[in-house]
Amino acid sequence: MKSLGVIILAAGVGKRMKSNLLKVLHPICGRPMLSYIIDTAVGLSPEKIVIVSSPKMEEEILRFAQNDRWGRNDKEFKSSKVQWNKIEFVIQDPPRGTGDAVMCAESIFSDFDGPILVLCGDVPLLKSDTLNNLIKFHNTNKGAATVLTTIVPDPASYGRVVKSKIKNQKSKVKKIVEATDASESIKRIDEINTGIYIFDKSLLFDTLHKIKPSNVQGEYYLTDTIEILCNEDKEVYGFLTNDWQEVIGINTRKTLADVESMLQAQIIEHHQLNGVAIKNHTTIDFGVKIGSDTIIHSGAFLLGNTQVGENCEIGANTAVEDSIISSGTIIGANSDIRNAKL
């Protein structure tokens, strides 16, 4: 099997976030948004990971990593901090669309001969299992490209996937039309583009050189490569994932809050399944470790690089940040503990 290459698009400013902080560095459960998709990419064991970033992005990401805010080692929640030797950065300046962003990585893949997976830095819930299935499908069918698609309750702002006839039970993609450029008939399509693709490397960059910014935004769309490939009689497939929430891209503070709630639920379930009693309205950061038979009361906050031993009790409305709590410790309600060892 050929080696895998990964390109993560992370250069977007995120104007709709209305923030001076770069979109992919907004924290979710104590870690920057981008760290989750990097962990997912690392889990695929690729030969290369390239992050397409805006100026100063690399500096900002390294600052998070050096401050130990990136992620921690755990059986289920793996840290990507130790994988920096696999990651390279390229700068997109000025930002001219997703097609241009991928083009920025062309030189790094000049001697690479495997498929290239393109991911978005603002999709933190994406699972490795989904991507492994996508990669397997793509390699089996030997298409020029495969698009990860899904069906969402409200597709209004998403690019629509226009299909040709289905042959041999395989979903053939004809083109992808961005919402801003879609006709009324295309807007009625409910299957949408997730922004995640896998390409035959031998075709990807040649096709990118053929796209033109002939759209409302005046940008080079990566989606245009799909129509070009199809017009050249290359086979492009769609791979449908039924879990649309997994591929939610974050563009606003509202979506950020929604995704954080979903991830928080996963974190709490993880600890509950490992023997921790957790009351309602509790906040637990991604990297927190908690021993079995510990009770976390309602309204507690366990933040940062906190470690709680076994048989502890954390009182209601208590905040514990970057602290080590020894087994058997009882902390009363309304306490505020930071950078402590108890």
Cis peptide before 124 (omega within 30 of 0): no
* pTM of the predicted model as reported, rounded to 2 decimal places: 0.90
For residues 303 and 286, the answer to whether their CB atoms sit within 8 Å is no
Contacts of 131 (CB under 8 A, 6+ apart): 40, 44, 117, 119, 196
Rounded CA separation 187/253 (Å): 25
For residues 101 and 95, the answer to whether their CB atoms sit within 8 Å is yes
pLDDT in tens, the chain (342 residues): 579 999 999 988 788 899 988 899 899 999 889 989 988 998 899 999 999 988 877 677 666 555 544 444 333 334 444 455 668 889 998 888 999 999 999 999 999 999 999 999 999 999 999 999 999 999 999 999 999 999 999 888 899 999 876 555 456 898 998 888 889 999 999 999 999 999 999 899 999 999 988 777 788 989 999 999 999 999 999 999 999 999 999 999 999 999 999 999 999 999 999 999 999 999 999 989 999 999 999 999 999 999 999 999 999 999 999 999 999 999 999 999 999 999
What pLDDT, on the 0 to 100 scale, is given for residue 279? 96
What pLDDT, on the 0 to 100 scale, is given for residue 84? 59
Structural tokens at position 153: 């309750």
Rounded CA separation 145/199 (Å): 4
Closest by CA to 206, choosing from 96, 103, 92, 319, is: 103
Long-range contacts of 305-313, Cβ-Cβ distance < 8 Å, separation of 24 or more: 305/68, 305/72
Evaluate whether the domain defined by 274-338 bears CATH number 2.160.10.10.
yes
What pLDDT, on the 0 to 100 scale, is given for residue 67? 54
Closest by CA to 89, choosing from 111, 114, 121, is: 121
For residues 287 and 304, the answer to whether their CB atoms sit within 8 Å is yes
Task: Encode pLDDT of 181-225 as tens digits.
Answer: 889 999 999 999 999 999 999 899 999 999 988 777 788 989 999
Rounded CA separation 230/226 (Å): 6
Q: What 8-state DSSP symbol labels residue 172?
A: B
Q: Which residue has the tokens 């989606």?
A: 223
Sheet holding 301-303, edge to edge: 283-284, 301-303, 319-321, 336-338
Q: Where in the chain is the domain with CATH 2.160.10.10?
A: 274-338
What pLDDT, on the 0 to 100 scale, is given for residue 226? 93
What pLDDT, on the 0 to 100 scale, is given for residue 214? 75
What pLDDT, on the 0 to 100 scale, is given for residue 133? 96
For residues 319 and 301, the answer to whether their CB atoms sit within 8 Å is yes
Query: What one-character-per-residue DSSP string does 80-91 give?
Result: -GGGGGGEEEEE
Rounded CA separation 25/89 (Å): 15
CATH topology of domain 5-252: Spore Coat Polysaccharide Biosynthesis Protein SpsA; Chain A (3.90.550)
Task: Encode pLDDT of 16-30 as tens digits.
Answer: 899 988 899 899 999
Q: Where in the chain is the domain with CATH 3.90.550.10?
A: 5-252
